[in-house]
Amino acid sequence: MENYKLAVVPGDGIGHEIIPAALNVLEAVSSKHGFGISYDFFEWGAGRYEKEGAFMPEDGLETLKKHDAVYFGAVGLPSVDDTLPAKLYTFRVRTAFQQYVNYRPVKLFKGLESPLRNKGVADIDFVVIRENNEGEFVQSGAMFRPESPEGLAMDTSIFTRKGIERIAHYSFKLAQKRRKKVTNVTKSNTLIHSLKYWDAVIEEVSASYPDVEYVKMYIDNCSANFVLHPEYFDVILTTNLFGDILSDLGGGIMGSLGLGGSGNINPEKDFPSMFEPIHGSAPDIAGRNIANPVGTIWSGALLLEHLGQKAAAENIVKAVERVFETGLKTVDLGGKAKTDEFAQRVVESL
C-alpha cells in the first residue's frame, strides 16, 4: 500500500477551518482507494510572525523537503504588512522548491449556475497555467528617496529562456491530454522586450507540438473573452502577474473565489509541490464556520493527482459535484451550509 507524508500548513484566518474540513475528505478518499496519508502540522504564517518575527523557522524549508507534498491553507492578517506573506512564505517556498508551474483549473461544477448568462458546464472548463518563479513577481527592484519630491520606485520583470521553455513544454503536454489547444496570454505589443521574448520562445516550443493548436491573445482581449466566450479556452499559458489576475477572474465566472483550487508544482518531483486554494485568509469571516471549503478540497484532489492517485482525485471532484446537485451550497454561493457540514456531505458522497 502506498503511503504519503504531507506537511500541513493551515496558515491564518479561515485556514484553520478549511484545512481540517478538507483533510476529512482526503482521509475518506484514501481509505476508499487503498492508500495511506499521514500528516505533520506546522503553525506557520502571519500569526507566527507576530509572535516570533518570522513566518517559518530558519530550517522550515528543510523540514518541508522531507514530505511528499505541502497542503496549505492561506496566509496573512490585517495587522501584518501585506507585502510580507508572499515574500516570507509563499514565494520563498515556490522558489526554493522550483515550483515553476502554478496550475489553476477553472470549471463550472454541475449543480451550480455561472454568473455568466447562457454559459453552462460545457462552456467553462479550462486551466490557467501560470509561470510561477519568474516574470513580474521576482521582487527585483527598489525605492529611491520615496518621501522626496523626486522619489522613484522600480520593479523589474525577469524572463529567462529556461523558465519560458519549461512552462511552455508543460502547457503543451497538458493540452495533448485535454482538448489540444494552448492560448498564450501576453501583452507584447506594449512590453516590447520582455514579452516579445516570451512570445518568441513559446512559438519555438509550439513547433514541437504540431497536434496542438497554438493561439496568441493579448491580456485585455483575453479578459473580455473570459466573460463573453469562456468556451474559447482549454490551456491558458501566461505570466506570473497575468495568471494571478486571470485565475481570480476564473473563480468569478465559476461563481465564487471559494471554489478555486491550485497547485504550485515541481513537475520533476525533485522537491515537494504545494497545494492551496486561490482565495486569501479572509480574517473578516474567520471563526464563523462559513468559509467555502471547495477550493481547498479541490486542491487536495490536485495533490493526489500529482502523487499518482488520479482515480481518487477524480472521485473527489465528482463527489463535490454530486453534493452541489443536491442543492446544498455554502454562504458565498447563496446557500446556508457551514464549512464542516459541506465537507461532511462530500465525505458521504464519496
Tens-digit pLDDT string for the chain (350 aa): 899 999 999 999 999 999 999 999 999 999 999 999 999 999 999 999 999 999 999 999 999 999 999 999 999 999 999 999 999 999 999 999 999 999 999 999 999 999 999 999 999 999 999 999 999 999 889 999 999 999 999 999 999 999 999 999 999 999 999 999 999 999 999 999 999 999 999 999 999 999 999 999 999 999 999 999 999 999 999 999 999 999 999 999 999 999 999 999 999 999 999 999 999 999 999 999 999 999 999 999 999 999 999 999 999 999 999 999 999 999 999 999 999 999 999 999 99
Question: Which residues are paired to 277 by β-bridges?
Answer: 261
Please give the Cα distance from 80 to 318 (Å, whole number). Answer: 38
Please give the Cα distance from 298 to 276 (Å, whole number). Answer: 9
Please give the Cα distance from 283 to 304 (Å, whole number). Answer: 28
Place of cell 466573460: 227
Please give the Cα distance from 32 to 241 (Å, whole number). Answer: 39
pLDDT at 304: 98
Among 3.40.50.300, 2.40.50.140, 3.40.718.10, 3.30.2130.10, what is the CATH number of 1-109+257-350? 3.40.718.10
pLDDT at 1: 84
pLDDT at 226: 97
Q: Beta 36-41 vs 152-158: how paired, if at all?
A: unpaired
pTM: 0.95
Q: Which of 307, 316, 319 is nearest to 275 (CA)?
A: 307
What angle is formed at CA 272 by the lines to CA 55 and CA 244, rounded to 5 degrees? 65
Instruction: Report domain extents, the chain.
Output: 1-109+257-350
Q: Which of 157, 166, 12, 120 is nearest to 74 (CA)?
A: 12
Question: Which residues are paired to 105 by β-bridges?
Answer: 127
Report the 10 Å Cβ neighbour count for 261.
Answer: 25
| Neighbour order of strands in the sheet with 125-131 | 36-41, 3-11, 69-74, 273-277, 261-265, 101-107, 125-131, 235-238, 181-186, 213-218
Cell of 283: 480574517
Query: If phi over 0 gives left and psi between -120 and 50 gives alpha, with beta otherwise, what is residue 130?
Result: beta
